[in-house]
Amino acid sequence: MDNKEILMVVDVVSAEKGLEPAIIFNAIELALAAARKKIAADDAEFRVEIDTATGDYDTYRVWQVVADEDSDNAAGEGEFLFDSTTMIRLSDAVQKQADIAVGDLLEELVEIVDFGRIASQQAKQVIVQKVREAERMKVAKQFESRIGQMLSGQVKRVDRGNVVIDLGGGAEGVITRDKLIPRENMRVGDRAVAFLTGISEEVRGPQLLLVRTAPELLVELFRREVPEVSEGMVEIVGAARDPGVRAKIAVRSHETRIDPIGACVGMHGTRVQSVSNELAGERVDIVLADDNPGQFVINALSPAKIVSIAVDEESHTMDVAVDEDQLSLAIGRGGQNVRLASDLTGWSLNMMSVQEIEQKQEAEVLEMSAKLVAQLDIDQDVAEILAMEGFTNLEEIAFVPISELLEIEEFDEELVDELRRRAQDALLTQEISLEESVDKAEPAEDLLEVEGVTPRLALMLAANGIISREDLADQAVDDLLDIDELDEELAGKLIMAARAIWFE
């Protein structure tokens, strides 16, 4: 390859591939060095430097400088093995370049030789490979800002179930088999939309990762099809999918004159049908979002008719009651409807018939009332009334405003005063009992050595069965939150301090 040919290759490839000339020059330098190595008598290393103005180039043989004592291991002693083909002793290197040091590269200009057919072919392969890598890097850089967006393209090939999408401009994305819609049959030449989730570094260069199963793709399709969504007048609050079968999206309007569901459905259903067609016929339910969690769940479970909902804020679950003939409709085939509604609303939903939820509530009331009978020494009837009204623990009864208890029809002021007094006495008894157990508990010495554990806190931990440092290290944050003097942050710090010994 002469200087004119080098400049011509750079001009042509740079213009055709849209790459910087410096990238092409670098690829040619690597190719010429590889070709020179191919025809060398030994395994010597070479470097080529091209004059970008004239196309002339020089070839250098390269050695790595090593310490003299390291080169004594040439017989194979130890892990280091001196190779005179690619390495040179420091004492020999300084004779050729005075300011050289261990770790530097010593270069020596060698004559330019003609390459044979095989070496020339290898040089061309290296150039092609490096140009392809540069193209992929350029594409990856262009698409970094588009991660989290929907892309469209044409199916270029299908390889062992994975689909390669031509995104235009030399860019390709891949949808792996597990990210395709189940039972979807994509053929070469088909148009397809997908969601860009990231860019992975592969041996052959960066790879654009696409998916067709993500709920975000559904949101982006509605954003494309519904002007009110793209303009911000209608908001898509969330989406849940059973890819290729059924999906739900929750919408709300920021303009009182706009019906969010009607806007997404479109005239004669054209908008929602267009989205469905893009997703292999996936049926899409459009749900009205609501700030009230219970109403949101009712909307999400439509068309099933909900009778009642019992909310448990602590476990973030809801017991949803429907009539017996509505139960299968609410649950859906294979639990699909309730699963999608749960994903959409963020609540764990337990579907029950009216009879089942009544039985459950009765059992809970009996369980709670039995505890109140034992704690307050009151009649079962009074305990059941308290439980049904939502008073389930001593703290609520002892410290709730008197007016709330007086709202209970069966209670008068005398009874309320007596209940509050008994609840306060029971709490005081529990506190005294706890203090006595703390006084009797003896924490191990290594528990007191944990950073942040005070003597009183150690006694509190010991009273709860946490005697040693190892006991504390085995705890989870939630296990410690029942101890009065601990909050979530302090509990986490204490556990990590106890576990520090594991990593030493």
225-240 pLDDT, tens digit each: 999 999 999 999 999 9
Clarify whether residues 50 and 78 are in a common domain.
yes
Residue 302 and residue 184 share a domain: no
Q: Tell me if 223 is assigned to some domain.
A: no
Q: Please spell the DSSP secondary structure of 463-503, one letter per residue.
A: HTT--SHHHHHT--HHHHTTSTT--HHHHHHHHHHHHGGGG
Decide if 371 is inside a domain: yes
Instruction: Specify the CATH number for the domain of residue 474.
Output: 1.10.150.20
Residue of 491, 489, 429 lying closest to 460 (CA atoms)? 491
d(CA 44, CA 271): 66
My answer on whether 17 and 89 are in the same domain is: yes
The reply to whether 154 falls in a domain is yes
CB atoms within 10 A of CB 358: 13
Using the structure block, give the residue that is written with the tokens 């092409």.
Answer: 24
Same domain, 301 and 367: yes
What pLDDT digit, counting tens, does each position of 306-316 carry?
988 888 888 89
Picking from 213, 229, 249, the residue at the C-terminal end of a domain is 213
* Total count of domains within the chain: 4
| Rounded Cα distance, 63 and 97, in Å | 12
If asked whether residues 483 and 446 sit together in one domain, one would say yes
Question: Phi and psi dihedrals of 211, rounded to 5?
Answer: -135, 150
One-letter identity of residue 449: E
- The model's pTM is 0.60
From CA 171, how far away is CA 17, in angstroms rounded?
Answer: 12
Distance between CA atoms of residues 79 and 343, nearest Å: 57
Contacts 24+ apart (CB under 8 A), 396-404: 397/372, 397/423, 398/423, 398/424, 398/426, 398/427
Task: Verify that 126 and 190 share a domain, yes or no.
Answer: no
Domain-located, residue 468: yes
Q: Does residue 271 fall inside a structural domain?
A: no
Let me know whether 28 and 130 are in one domain: yes
Same domain for 187 and 105: no
CB-CB neighbours of 62 under 10 Å? 15
Q: Which residue has the tokens 């029971």?
A: 426
Would 283 be classed as within a structural domain? no
Report the CATH number that the domain containing residue 162 is assigned in CATH: 2.40.50.140
110 inside domain: yes
23 with 128, same domain: the answer is yes
Question: Pick from 98, 115, 136: which residue ends a domain?
Answer: 136
Integer Cα distance of 150 and 173 in angstroms = 12
Same-domain status, 24 and 116: yes
Per-10-residue mean pLDDT, the chain, length 504 = 68 70 80 79 83 83 84 55 84 88 88 64 69 73 87 90 86 90 90 91 75 95 95 95 95 93 94 94 94 94 89 87 89 92 94 83 81 83 82 80 84 85 81 62 83 84 85 86 79 88 74
Residue finishing a domain among 348, 377, 406: 377
pLDDT of 123: 62
Length of the chain in residues, anyone?
Answer: 504
The CATH code of the domain that includes 49 is 3.30.1480.10
Own/partner contacts of 463-471, CB < 8 Å, gap of 24 or more, are 463/434, 463/437, 463/438, 467/441, 467/442, 467/443, 468/443, 468/444, 469/444, 469/498, 469/501, 470/446, 470/498, 471/447
CATH number, domain with residue 300: 3.30.300.20
In sequence order, the 6+-apart residues with CB closer than 8 A to the CB of 68 are: 89, 90, 91
> What pLDDT score does 285 carry?
95
Reply yes or no: is the peptide bond before residue 303 cis, omega within 30 of 0. Answer: yes
Residues 37, 123, single domain; the answer is: yes
Beta bridge partners of 378: none
Residue 111 maps to a domain: yes
Residue 16 sits in the same domain as residue 93:
yes
Q: Using DSSP bridges, classify how beta strands 57-66 and 87-89 pair: parallel, antiparallel or unpaired.
A: parallel
Distance CA 69, CA 90 (A): 10
Distance from C-alpha of 400 to C-alpha of 398, rounded to nearest angstrom: 6
pLDDT score recorded for residue 114: 67
Helix pair angle (413-440, 354-376), 10° resolution: 70
Domain that holds residue 194: 147-213
The pLDDT value recorded for residue 439 is 56
Which pLDDT does position 22 carry in this prediction?
Answer: 80
